[in-house]
Amino acid sequence: MYKLRLFLLFCFCSGVSMAADRYINILTPASNDIVEPGQSLLVSGTGRGLFEGNVVVRITDAGGGEPLLQQPTTMKLDDIAAAGKWQIHVTLPRSLPDTLVLSAFSPSPKEGDASINSNELTLMTKVAPSLEGPGWKLDRYRDASGQLIPVLQDTRVTVQFSGGKLSGSAGCNRYFGTYKTTAADQIHLAPNMGMTMMACAQPVSDQERQYLALLESAAGFQLTDHSMQLLDENHQAVLEYTALQPLMLENTPWRAVGINNGKGGVVSAATTGRATASFKAGKVTGHTGCNTFHASYEITGEHIRMGPVMSTRKHCAEPEGIMQQEQQYLHALSQARVMELTDSGLKLRDEHGSLQVHFVAADTQPR
């Protein structure tokens, strides 16, 4: 009787030991690694007690659903009960969700038996650079001699692509048009883009004319995470940009491009850009073109309300019309009730939806 009990106990313990010795683990990649769509990914690990050394690597959407990829490999061993290493190169699909789950398993040789499952790893998909987004700021452009030169100091030249439409600032005027791209990173802009008709200083006007001509002639593009080049037909860079960061109300210097004149219209003139604003921690400060001002503000969702707007009392005889602009600007700010913050700028509207001030981000405060 005692011998039988000891034999059964030995068999039971040995069975637990054998089950515990059967495993499969993933060693690489590491959890939370970033992977790129279409790339070849090395998956490796260890295992023991796997039937015929079989390993199946599986990648699924973290949100669930059918596997995105499932590929088998084999752990080569003379003794199937021994521990060993396995690895496989898998090619990721070109279209991937933001978050993936990587796992491996070794199927059971008998129907109904449980397979041996590995640990699960979370992988993050690298977002491929795209033309579309917050936009691009021009750093250099090709001049008449064929050299890439920096944009003029204190000018801001931008472009934004979205759904077949583009828009931006050419340094003085706003422009807009349409475009098409192909999978071969080619781009075609429709001719005769629309634009505003503000007068500019001659150097700015010359730069603007050259920029728009180069933009319309672009035949291709090249992207990295933070930069973009527009290329000519010979694949040579003609325009070089840096990616813009998403605009925020606070800690962004704003420059007016349109001010309500109090007569139902939003006007823009050569002096409009002298009107600025900066929002931070419930206080807004800025320049009217002649005087500085400050006020408190409160935000609830998309609604904004400014306290009494206070300004210095200097009188400016020049440029012509600057004092009238100051009155219009301060009144427009006091009427602001709704804010619209987009990738291209900030619009303040009154309670009836009428535009009061249209701002764009400014790299520098006016002197």
Over its length of 367 residues, how does the chain's per-residue pLDDT go in tens digits? 444 343 333 333 333 334 458 899 999 999 899 888 888 999 999 999 888 889 999 999 998 888 999 999 998 877 767 889 999 999 998 788 889 999 999 987 776 566 899 999 999 887 666 888 778 999 999 999 999 999 998 788 999 998 899 999 899 888 999 999 987 789 999 988 998 888 888 999 999 999 999 999 999 999 887 899 999 999 999 999 999 877 789 988 999 999 999 987 899 998 999 999 999 999 999 999 999 999 999 998 889 999 999 999 999 999 999 999 999 999 999 999 999 987 668 999 999 999 999 998 886 333 3
For position 211, which CATH number holds? 2.40.128.270
Whether residue 91 is found in the same domain as residue 146: no
Establish whether the linkage from the previous residue to 29 is cis, with ω within 30° of 0: yes
188, 221 contact by CB (below 8 A): no
Whether residue 260 is found in the same domain as residue 341: yes
Q: What share of the chain is helix, strand, coil (3-state, %, to 5)?
A: 15, 45, 40
In a domain, 131, yes or no: no
Whether residue 225 is found in the same domain as residue 261: no
Q: Which residues contact 312 (CB under 8 A, 6 or more apart)?
A: 291, 292, 293
Torsion over CA of 343, 348, 352 and 353, rounded to 10 degrees?
-20
Domain endpoint, select from 104, 125, 146? 125
For 107-253, strand residue ranges (E) read 116-117, 121-125, 136-142, 148-150, 158-162, 165-169, 174-181, 187-189, 194-195, 220-223, 227-231, 237-243
Whether residue 10 is found in the same domain as residue 106: yes
Host domain of residue 267: 254-361
pTM above 0.75, yes or no: no
Domains contained in the chain, number:
3
Q: How far, in Å, CA of 6 to CA of 278, rounded?
A: 84
Q: What's the token pair of residue 292?
A: 């500085």
In a domain, 261, yes or no: yes
Whether residue 223 is found in the same domain as residue 300: no
Q: Which stretch of DSSP H or E encloses residue 9?
A: helix 2-20
Q: How far, in Å, CA of 41 to CA of 119, rounded?
A: 18
In a domain, 238, yes or no: yes
Whether residue 268 is found in the same domain as residue 338: yes
Whether residue 330 is found in the same domain as residue 262: yes
Whether residue 33 is found in the same domain as residue 80: yes
